[in-house]
Amino acid sequence: MYSLTSIPPGLFIILGALLIPIFSGRTRNVFMLVLPTIGLAGLLQFDVGIYWETKIFNQNLTPVRIDDLSLVFGYIFHLAAIISVIYAFHIRDTIQQVASLVYSGSAIGAVFAGDLITLFVYWEITAISSVFLIWANRTERSYRSGMRYLVVQVASGVLLLSGSVIYITETGSINFDKMSLVGFGPIFIFVAFGIKAAFPLVNGWLHDAYPNATATGTVFLSAFTTKLAIYALARGFPNADILIWIGCIMATITVIYALLENDLRRVMTYSLNTQLGLMVIAVGIGSNLALNGAVAHAFTGIVYKSLLFMVLGAVLVQTGTTKANELGGLRNSMPWTAAFAVIGAASISAFPFFIGFPSKSLILSATAYEGYWVVWGILLFASAGVFFNTGIRIPYLVFFGKQTDKKIVEAPANMLVAMGITSIICLLIGIYPKILFDLLPFNIAYEPYTMSHIITQLQLLSAAALVYVYANNKDLLSNNKIALLLDVDWFFRRGFPFIINYVFKFYWKIHQGLLSNLKINLSKIIGTVFKHHGPEGVLARTWPTGSTVLWVAILLALYVIVYFV
């Protein structure tokens, strides 16, 4: 008899997504909404354990492993898919609709993968399906960006497969569990996870691809790829010290880039990268409190990041741009969107009683308890930077700055509903964080709303606000001062090809020189041979028989002398 647990989580959504083309209009919207809703209902019926275990080539494949860590990601991924589908109700692009749900389902399937091979399969499906959300913009720029994105994501998959094969060969285990960074296998797997988590030097794809995706595609993208990587790091490499310092670099450098960027969707990707840095630090610390903080911040990050990307997506649809220097004063024409932007800004800034506060408090407390005071200071700097760049700058420039001359109307109703649901979640969990804490993998008593936590955070936010007001009054942040920002992806897109081209030209010049000298020398040799063997050459003349016999006799005499002497 069929039940909601008859199909693995995620696979139900993937298979259902393939049926989307047979529906149309509102029926298609309802069908798309039903898929992740039923998927979430089915997930709630699963008990902790192993499902659909299969033995292949003396290895036990574990397509589904339900435990406390995978469940919390499964819940938020389903919820993000539901909200994102509502947000995209106005879309009539079949390719984009199918790709978005295949992408969502594969990310869900990946977090429940109990072995490395199953993880790899879902890992690659996320890469291939998600690129269509970028190409759906149907511009030359989005096409090129999508190609770069696909190359990076597939490279991550190749590293994951290579590392898995080496790891399985060395250990005999196919299970996806905690690993130590010893040997090529775990290192390749670690780098594969790091690419999707937007580690320094391999994070260019994030800031290149997300802003070039469609308005709705960016909402889907922001929820799954990088958070799947955080889950994978928490599962495979908790307490890896190197993650602490990688996370510190992620959390600081991106703050500076966000400050200088004019495209607000790119500002959001830098802010997303900063938040990922906080999660990576927590995974690297590896205590139960820190891992709870990483998981909680991934959960809350999906919520408030989705909300802010939805806000900017609505602005993009209604105005045609997200450039800071082209926007301003939209609070009157888009009042609901402005209100949701303020809630999202307060949430990402970790204002007390908004969703970002309890999760960020967990990470700060874990860092302090373990004695990482330098890291704790970096976290404070990153938190202030996020409030400065995203919490203040985006709402002010878009909704409360100088009035734009464009005639704008409020966002479509489905977008407002999706943003409204997400805003309610931001407030509900912010006010009553026990809802989130009960889902976390480790049962630890923690109270985020202590007087010291609240006062410290309010002082930090007040200081950042004062700095912003001062800088804005001094015209230090004028959105008309647009600069070309060179990120690490410049090396891969321009620098590396330039070097290859220069080396090739240098090699070609040497090659041509050697080839020219070879031709000259060959010509000389051929000329010499022709001189002696040509029609007029000495060796081509007709020799008398007597002379020939004489030379044979002389050579034979020389041979006899040499042989007998």
Q: What is the mean pLDDT of the chain?
A: 87
Q: Is the pLDDT of residue 80 over 60?
A: yes
| Residue of 69, 70, 441 lying closest to 289 (CA atoms) | 441
Residues 427-445 have pLDDT tens digits of 999 999 999 999 999 988 8
- SS3 letters across 337-378: HHHHHHHHHHHHCCCCCCCHHHHHHHHHHHHHHCCCHHHHHH
Size of the chain, expressed as the number of residues it contains: 565
Residues 144-173 have pLDDT tens digits of 999 999 999 999 999 999 999 999 999 988
In the numeric block, which tokens belong to residue 350? 């970790």
- Nearby residues of 106 by Cβ (< 8 Å), 6 or more positions away: 10, 14, 122, 125, 126, 129
Phi, psi of 59 (to 5 degrees): -125, 140
- The residue extents of the domains of the chain are 238-487, 494-564
Q: Tell me the mean pLDDT in the region 59-82.
A: 93
- Nearby residues of 231 by Cβ (< 8 Å), 6 or more positions away: 69, 70, 73, 110, 111, 298
In this prediction, residue 497 carries a pLDDT of: 64
Q: Tell me the mean pLDDT in the region 470-488.
A: 62
Q: Is the pLDDT of residue 502 over 70?
A: no
**Highest mean pLDDT range out of 172-186, 291-305, 471-485?**
291-305
| Residue of 43, 101, 75, 29 lying closest to 302 (CA atoms) | 75
- Nearby residues of 37 by Cβ (< 8 Å), 6 or more positions away: 82
Q: Is the pLDDT of residue 490 over 70?
A: no
In this prediction, residue 480 carries a pLDDT of: 46
In this prediction, residue 39 carries a pLDDT of: 93
407 versus 156: which is more confidently predicted? 156
Q: Is the pLDDT of residue 142 over 80?
A: yes
Q: Is the pLDDT of residue 538 over 80?
A: no
In this prediction, residue 547 carries a pLDDT of: 62
In the numeric block, which tokens belong to residue 144? 């090129």
Residues 250-262 have pLDDT tens digits of 999 888 888 888 8
Q: Is the pLDDT of residue 492 over 70?
A: no
In this prediction, residue 365 carries a pLDDT of: 93
- Nearby residues of 259 by Cβ (< 8 Å), 6 or more positions away: 385, 388, 389
